[in-house]
A and B are shown apart, each in its own frame.
Chain A
Amino acid sequence: MNWLVPLPVVIPLIAAGLALAMSRRPRVQGAISVAALSLVLAVAVGLIFVTHTQGPQVVNVGGWSAPVGIALVGDRLSVLMLLVSAIVLLCVLLYSLAQGVADGNEGAPVAIYHPTYLVLAAGVANAFLSGDLFNLYVGFEILLAASFVLLTLGGTGERIRAGSIYVIVSLLSSVLFLISIAMIYAATGTLNLAQLSERLLDIDPGVRLVLQVMLLMGFAIKAAVFPLSAWLPDSYPTAPAPVTAVFAGLLTKVGVYAIIRMQTLLFTDGALDMVLMWAALLTMLVGIIGAVAQDDIKRLLSFTLVSHIGYMIFGISLANQTGLSSAIFYVAHHITVQTALFLVAGLIERRGGSTSLEKLGSLGKLAPALAILFFVPAMNLAGIPPMSGFLGKVGLLQAGLELGTPLALATVAGGLLTSLLTLYAVVKAWNKAFWQEAPEELPEGTTPRSMFGPAAVLATLGVLFAVIGGPLYSYTDAAARDLQAQTPYIDSVLVRGDRGEGDSDAAGGDDG
């Protein structure tokens, strides 16, 4: 069944080409995008069954065997990420289609929206499935290039301003990543993740530490880990609501995924675990303090996004199975919840004409359904029991207590404080936007049911994660066990000792 693995990358790319060819027919474009992403979703569901029952699935692109050629690997972690991101991408696409229909075709260059969005989907899938570092870089570049276009869509002054910061910071992180790739290749002579995990053990620990720091810096910028997170609240809030939603949900999580991968597969000696834990603590606290200070819902949500990345990093830095498992659970939960919140922020902007808490008010009377739709994911984000945010946080805190070092305990305390402050921030936003008297009459506006639907689906999904919490946790436990054992991944990529399946016996020189 390993032919399923490349499909999540190939389908959106082909569909992007088709959509670009149909640039004069917005309806056809929409149909193509929906069909492609539904197909990706179906493939992801199929993959999750196959990998769960039969172990990691590997495809050697072009038939070249693993250490030389490009390997695409779907293991439990990457396939779960793929599934969640497929759901989110589809929901956001439906939301933006509905928004396009509701707005009419006024001015915005919609012709490139669908192709770019599909390319973004392909890049995300490529980053998740990639089995070697350079292909991971290519996946990152695909999704970054698409995100640049989406972020500056329409080319208004504000978006160009936000875009320049985002573009430059992203370019810098890519360059850092590329430099570390070059250095890793120079040190080990390979870029295949499975082979690297064996070869990195043989090199000098000092060199290994340098390589780890370099890689971590590149990924931490993308994942918005404090102190490398300052670009995020500056650039996300200005983009159109669906774009911000998909960025907030997916792009930072790709960085987190890369950090999980590198910490579990490449650098297993835990040399930087303390540093990561400090970063996690500071990310949580500084992020949430920023959120408390904001007057604008979108900016507030951007800061909570940064803050909650801290939880995931904490889970990774614990480096035990409970911690990893909860971190994976938390990533899946957070993708849906944060996306839902940004979509709701878009609806609030539509109904109230603004997302500034100083201008909003009385929305509770005007749009009660919207109030509920904001309330549910907001409480989920804050981790109110019995929602999935609570389950994720309990897992993380439990794993922290299990480790029991002073720093871990301090981070547990920081996590609790962050949850409380998140609760404070979102309740403040909820109260101000929905229940205070509006300072001035709100403009007339509507929230089309077709936009409401996808947001509601995502919010429900966040709650549903709590219902299926047991099975989901046993799945993430298995994923974490795989990650720590390493052998399922390495054995499936390098089938015959140091060679994968494939036909490239003539190609030598990988051990130069």
Chain B
Amino acid sequence: MTPNVTLAIVVGVLVGTGVYLLLERSLSRVIIGVTLISNGVNVLMLIAGGAAGGPPLVGSGPAEDMADPLPQAMVLTAIVINLGLTAFVLAMAYRSWQLHGHDEVQDDLEDRRIARRAERGAVDKRADDVGTNLAIEAAEARDETEEVPLITGHGPQLGAEDDDVTGRRS
């Protein structure tokens, strides 16, 4: 079986772009990322079925000229599953926007508590180190999803960056 190079490149581009988008915090970008990846994987499935051929209907020709029907059936199943899951994630992103005014994935509160505890320990250790500005340290440790204004005209990313460096941490 010789794989089709063009299709392989298509898969690479789709999955690569999808992975990049998946690394974002915003759920809507994640959805686009997941969709791209799953389309890439669907194409990969088709490549796995081998070279293109005639319709796999019994009696329409010799068996060697037919395309392999199994991957096509599987891709169909995968597309249906992805459709359902994408719809669900869209609903979830909408609900998140309804509740918070943005659709970013939030940090876990408990994780943040433990991170703060560690951060406090680090500050203690640096007590006699006069060279460090604590305000800068705090700003660096600050979570990007915090203190996002409810509705911004420019989207949540801009709003978070414009925010005051010494933002309240709760």
Contacts and interface: CB of A to CB of B under 8 A. Distances in A.
A186 B100 CA distance: 45
Contacts of A508: 63
A464 to B, nearest CB: 35
Contacts of A181: 45, 74
A296 B41 CA distance: 40
A145 B92 CA distance: 13
B99 interface: yes
A182 B105 contact: no
B68 A509 contact: yes
Interface string A138-179: 100100110011001001010011111101100110010011
Contacts of A506: 58
B122 interface: no
A185 B106 contact: no
B89 A167 contact: yes
A116 B101 CA distance: 29
Given A178-B78, A509-B69, A183 B88 contact: no
B38 A157 contact: no
SS class of chain B's interface: helix, strand, loop or mixed?
Answer: helix
A349 interface: no
B34 A152 contact: no
Chain B CB within 10 Å, residue with most, of A68, A164, A181: A164
A160 B95 contact: yes
Interface residues of B, number: 42
Given A68-B70, A161-B108, A182-B44, A134 B77 contact: yes
B1 A161 contact: no
A503 to B, nearest CB: 13
Given A68-B70, A155-B95, A509 B56 contact: yes
Interface string A493-506: 00000000000001
Nearest to B77: A138
Contacts of B159: none
Interface stretch (B46-54, B125-133, B150-158, B162-170): B46-54
A171 B85 contact: yes
Given A134-B74, A157-B100, A175-B41, A163 B92 contact: yes
B81 A175 contact: no
Contact of B111 (A141, A168, A234, A509): A234
Nearest to B46: A182
A144 B85 CA distance: 9
A151 to B, nearest CB: 10
A294 B66 CA distance: 59
Contacts of A179: 41, 44
Contacts of A222: none
Contacts of A138: 77, 81
B140 interface: no
A293 interface: yes
Nearest to B63: A508
Contacts of B17: none
Contacts of A145: 81, 84-85, 88
Given A145-B85, A157-B100, A182 B41 contact: yes
A234 B108 contact: yes
Given A175-B38, A512-B50, A148 B110 contact: no
A510 to B, nearest CB: 8
B37 interface: yes
Interface in A215-248: 234
Nearest to B51: A512
Given A178-B41, A293-B114, A161 B106 contact: yes
Nearest to B78: A178
A356 to B, nearest CB: 10
A471 to B, nearest CB: 40
A179 B14 CA distance: 13
Interface string A289-321: 000011010010000000000000000000000
The 5 closest A-B pairs by CB, nearest first: A186-B48, A182-B48, A185-B48, A161-B106, A182-B44
7 contacts: A160-B99, A164-B27, A171-B89, A178-B41, A183-B48, A509-B56, A512-B1
Interface of B: 1, 3, 22, 27, 30, 34, 37-38, 41, 44-45, 47-50, 56, 58, 63, 66, 68-71, 74, 77-78, 81, 84-85, 88-89, 92, 95-96, 99-100, 105-106, 108, 110-111, 114
Given A160-B96, A179-B44, 17 more contacts: A145-B81, A145-B85, A155-B95, A160-B92, A162-B108, A164-B27, A167-B92, A168-B22, A171-B89, A178-B45, A178-B78, A182-B48, A183-B44, A186-B1, A293-B114, A506-B58, A509-B68
Interface of A: 68, 134, 138, 141, 144-145, 148-149, 152, 155, 157, 160-165, 167-168, 171-172, 175, 178-179, 181-183, 185-186, 191, 234, 293-294, 296, 299, 506-510, 512
